[in-house]
Structure 1
Amino acid sequence: MKKVRMLTTRMRAKRMLAVLAGVAVLGAAGGCGAGAASSVVGKERLVIGVRPDLPAIGFRKGDGRFEGFDVDVAAYLARKLGATPTFVPALAADRERLLLEGKADLVVATFSITQERKTRVSFAGPYHLSFQDILVRDGTTGIANVRDLAGRKICEVQGSNAAQRVIDERQIPASVVPASTYDQCMAMLKSGRIDAITTNDVILAGLAAREGRGVRLVNTQFNEQRTGVGLRKGDVDGCEAVNRAITDMYQDGTAGMLLRKWFGTSGLTIGTVSVPQFEGCS
């Protein structure tokens, strides 16, 4: 009886050791998996959120493919990281959610870097410096700069903060009219329901180029826009790798070539093309 009890005790001890060993292996594997998933470095495929609704920036064509400046930038960065890009749509209101829910590894979608956004996601870059501008109907008079938006109706796409910045930062008493897409803003502008659209100049230049006539870019520059690459919060290695790729993009002439390719005939002043000062990865 005593011998049987001793054997039973030994068997239980062996089972416990096996369980503990299994837990340790799973824990280690889980830790490695989490680390690999949390960084874009070393991935063979990168899911990248790009705009589907902005001509010349990020636009989804009828065949489902994406094209535009941001799309070309995203493809370049992916190649530099040794990965194959897969693009998914990222409307203004979806950019943070895609990262927070793990549905995108990077977001390259006119994502302006702000301190408030940096509390939830990380940013590499900026990869492009632009300014806020104003788009109006042809024949509109009295709007030559941001101060002239006082008392006017201006459109703001959900997830963007451009119109609100006119009110909060510039102290301009304008009326903000919400929209879900820039196509809705354009429809309201052309119908006269709003007086102007204000956001990044490259976005407005793309819209103006698509329309061809009937609208006009005011070409007033205010509120510098630092457009960055969104990453999951805390991916310092990924941020540094993307910054190196952005540096290469400027130094090898790709950045200037892409800006001229997409905006060279839009009337937008491109200016000097040089490596932007990065925000830093922390």
Structure 2
Amino acid sequence: MRARRSTKIIGSVAALAMAAALTACSGDSDTIRIGVKYDQPGLGLDEGGTPVGFDVDVATYIAEHLGYTEDQIEWSEAASANRESFLQQGTVDMILATYSITDERREVVDFAGPYYVAQQDILTAADDTDIESPEDLDGKVLCSASGSRSANNIVDDMGIGAELREAGNYSECLELLSNGTVAAVTTDNTILAGFAAQNPGNYRMTNNPFGEEQYGVGLPKGSTERCEEINEAITQMWDDGSAAQFLEDAFGETDFAYEESTPELAPCA
């Protein structure tokens, strides 16, 4: 009798565990976890626990297209250095964090998009008129955030002899620029425009853009179907005028000349 009773108890416990697991899985499907930046004005900035900015607006639009309401989104802070690991470890379902599409990154994650094509530029102190182009950075200290290839584009790809200084994020780069530790900060013009607008009179963009940065929606490897759904959302977002409105909301009060043309979407792998 005890053996039969024990078996029933074990069976009941197993059934309860299975039910709990099914409930947990069901709960997971009721939310979507999205990684965005929390420290980039105009793109992804934490304001009282809720991120705001262009990337956040695009992410919300895509989530709604996928069937999620705004209150079903779980936001996570995605720094440049942890974007791949977040997707590989299942910390988030997708990332929109000025995440440029590159062949190197495609080896470990999938991308939908691009949803926007930015260009690279340079930010200096407001009173520094010596730096107008990448060539002027020769022999100077240049800052870029960990996990970003912006500074490498200048030093490695363009062969300019700048001294690289890596910071944890672009907020730290701005601190180094303010105290004179670095001569300039380089990254996408969208990012630099947001910081310049947040600190009027302190910094100057050269407004001499170069290169191209295709912002993609980062996805776990093997997300072909989800990629296609997101590309549909991106096309619709540009067609119905939402993308242009998001750009105006983010950068309309700055002198940043943002692109308003629909980007050419890459095929989903």
Q: 1:57 aligns with which of 40, 43, 46?
A: 43
TM-score normalised per structure 1: 0.83
Q: 1:75 aligns with which of 51, 60, 68?
A: 60
Residue 199 (structure 2) aligns with: 211
Residue 263 (structure 1) aligns with: 251
- Could you list the runs of 4 or more consecutive aligned residues of structure 1 that deviate by over 6 angstroms after TM superposition? none
Residue 276 (structure 1) aligns with: 263
Deviation sequence 1:208-235 (CA, Å, 0-9, x none): 1111121111111101110100000111
Rounded to whole Å, the distance in 2 between the matches of 1:262 and 1:139 is: 26
Instruction: Rate the CA distance shift 1:239–1:43 in 2: closer, same or farther, 3 A.
Output: farther
Deviation sequence 1:39-73 (CA, Å, 0-9, x none): xxx94321000001111111112x21111111111
Give, as a single letter, the amino acid of the residue that structure 1 aligns with 2:57: D
Rounded to whole Å, the distance in 2 between the matches of 1:274 and 1:218 is: 23
Residue 14 (structure 1) aligns with: none
Rounded to whole Å, the distance in 1 between the matches of 2:261 and 2:171 is: 32
Give, as a single letter, the amino acid of the residue that structure 2 aligns with 1:110: T
How many corresponding residue pairs? Answer: 243
- Please show how residues 147-162 of structure 1 align to structure 2 within 5 Å: 147-162=135-150
- Please show how residues 141-220 of structure 1 align to structure 2 within 5 Å: 141-220=129-208
Rounded to whole Å, the distance in 2 between the matches of 1:159 and 1:270 is: 24
Rounded to whole Å, the distance in 2 between the matches of 1:43 and 1:152 is: 50
- Identity, in percent, stands at 39
Secondary structure of 1:124's match? strand
**How far off is 1:150 after superposition?**
1.2
Rounded to whole Å, the distance in 1 between the matches of 2:254 and 2:261 is: 21
Deviation sequence 1:134-160 (CA, Å, 0-9, x none): 000011122111111111111011111
Secondary structure of 1:116's match? helix
**How far off is 1:246 after superposition?**
0.3
Rounded to whole Å, the distance in 1 between the matches of 2:258 and 2:32 is: 29
Residue 239 of structure 2 is aligned to residue 251 of structure 1? yes
Deviation sequence 1:10-44 (CA, Å, 0-9, x none): xxxxxxxxxxxxxxxx9xxxxxxxxx99xxxx943
**How far off is 1:103 after superposition?**
0.7
Question: Gapped runs of 5+ residues in structure 2?
Answer: 1-17, 19-24
Give, as a single letter, the amino acid of the residue that structure 1 aligns with 2:62: L
Rounded to whole Å, the distance in 2 between the matches of 1:101 and 1:115 is: 20
Give, as a single letter, the amino acid of the residue that structure 1 aligns with 2:148: S
- Quick check: 1:106–1:231 contact (8 Å CA) kept in 2? yes
Rounded to whole Å, the distance in 1 between the matches of 2:206 and 2:29 is: 43
Rounded to whole Å, the distance in 2 between the matches of 1:128 and 1:281 is: 16
Rounded to whole Å, the distance in 2 between the matches of 1:85 and 1:165 is: 34
Secondary structure of 1:109's match? coil
Rounded to whole Å, the distance in 1 between the matches of 2:209 and 2:169 is: 23
Residue 5 (structure 2) aligns with: none
Residue 94 (structure 2) aligns with: 106
Deviation sequence 1:166-217 (CA, Å, 0-9, x none): 1111111111101102121111101111010000000000111111121111
TM-score normalised per structure 2: 0.87
Residue 13 (structure 2) aligns with: none
Secondary structure of 2:98's match? strand
> Root-mean-square deviation (CA), in Å?
1.8
**How far off is 1:99 after superposition?**
0.4
- Quick check: 1:44–1:82 contact (8 Å CA) kept in 2? no
